[in-house]
Amino acid sequence: MRKRPFITAAAALAAAGAATFAYASLVERNLFTLRRLDVPLLEPDAEPLRILHITDLHMMPDQRRKQAWVAALAGTDPDLVVVTGDNLASPDAVPGVLRALDPLLGLPGAFVFGSNDYTGPVWKNPLGYVFPSGEYVQGVDLPTEDLRAGLLSEGWADLNNARTVLKAGGRTIELVGVDDPHIDLDDYESVSGPATAETDLHIGLTHSPTARVLDAMAADGFNLLLAGHTHGGQVCIPAYGALTTNCDLPRAMAKGLHRWPGSNALLHVSAGLGTHPTAPYRLACRPEATILTLIPR
């Protein structure tokens, strides 16, 4: 007996869906990728400066392959390392994060935290990212202070609602950062003010690329803004892009380098290296870290 056409089509669609899910959960989320971008930000004749931007590790203790891949980024020879949060996905993940970052900790570095550096993941309907309810559900407390102490002990700058000046690549760099706006921990007013004219570069850090924070940083003259949080959309549709950014950032800016609207600042949003443990898949959006090479305008 001949199969009915609609049964055949339904079976083919189901098979395609299963294959796509298998690829997204077993293959693409492990295809760690190093992006390289030139950022025209320096004065004429200035020597290039290399910034390694890492974010959204969402580390589990047994993710040794991811840890080894991040550790190998020391071979890119960055002048400055910036980590923009959501490092943890388990109460036992701090040793794994520090193991991954260890070869980089001897370099000048700075960090801010994200919501998943404070509380652990809880299961949620993936459609909640596309149609958010506005309610943030917290999980188990994470060892935030252990992670902070591990990074501070190596001399990295804690920029959670803080501001500092450091030297890297022969330049004097002013940095400002906020704690995670996604859970309303940001307090930019406490560190706001015009960028210092005597410094060579002015960089702003935030986990979530929330407009109120980016607007304020850009208005103060911080002309390179670095963020994570979006996972680049995590699940993207070819020729359409990200379905959501999980914040008020436009979908078209879910990852990559963009001019922040209404300002002279450039915004780099990294798609990050991990996934929420309850949504372990990526589609048309590989996990990434980025080398930003600052060059003359």
Q: How far apart are CA 180 and CA 201, in angstroms?
A: 23
Per-residue pLDDT for 266 more than 70? yes
Does residue 123 lie within any of the structural domains?
yes
pLDDT at 86: 98
pLDDT at 27: 86
* pTM given for the model: 0.91
> pLDDT tens digits for 226-264?
999 999 999 999 889 999 999 999 999 999 999 999 999
Does residue 288 lie within any of the structural domains?
yes
Q: Which two three-digit tokens encode residue 100? A: 């991954």
Label residue 24 by pLDDT band (50, 70, 90).
confident
> pLDDT tens digits for 175-189?
999 999 999 999 999
Q: How far apart are CA 163 and CA 177, in angstroms?
A: 6
pLDDT at 79: 98
Q: Residue 283: which domain range?
A: 31-296
Does residue 25 lie within any of the structural domains?
no
Does residue 17 lie within any of the structural domains?
no
How many domains is the chain built from?
A: 1
Does residue 246 lie within any of the structural domains?
yes
Does residue 10 lie within any of the structural domains?
no
Task: For residues 84-111, give the mean pLDDT.
Answer: 98
pLDDT at 15: 64
> pLDDT tens digits for 30-85?
999 999 999 999 999 999 999 999 999 999 999 999 999 999 999 999 999 999 99
Does residue 12 lie within any of the structural domains?
no
pLDDT at 8: 72
List the CATH number of the domain containing 37. Answer: 3.60.21.10
Q: Which two three-digit tokens encode residue 200? A: 């060579």
Label residue 18 by pLDDT band (50, 70, 90).
low
Q: Which of 89-93, 115-119, 201-205, 236-240 has the lowest mean pLDDT?
A: 236-240
Q: Which two three-digit tokens encode residue 20? A: 């796509």
Does residue 19 lie within any of the structural domains?
no
Label residue 138 by pLDDT band (50, 70, 90).
confident
Per-residue pLDDT for 135 more than 70? no
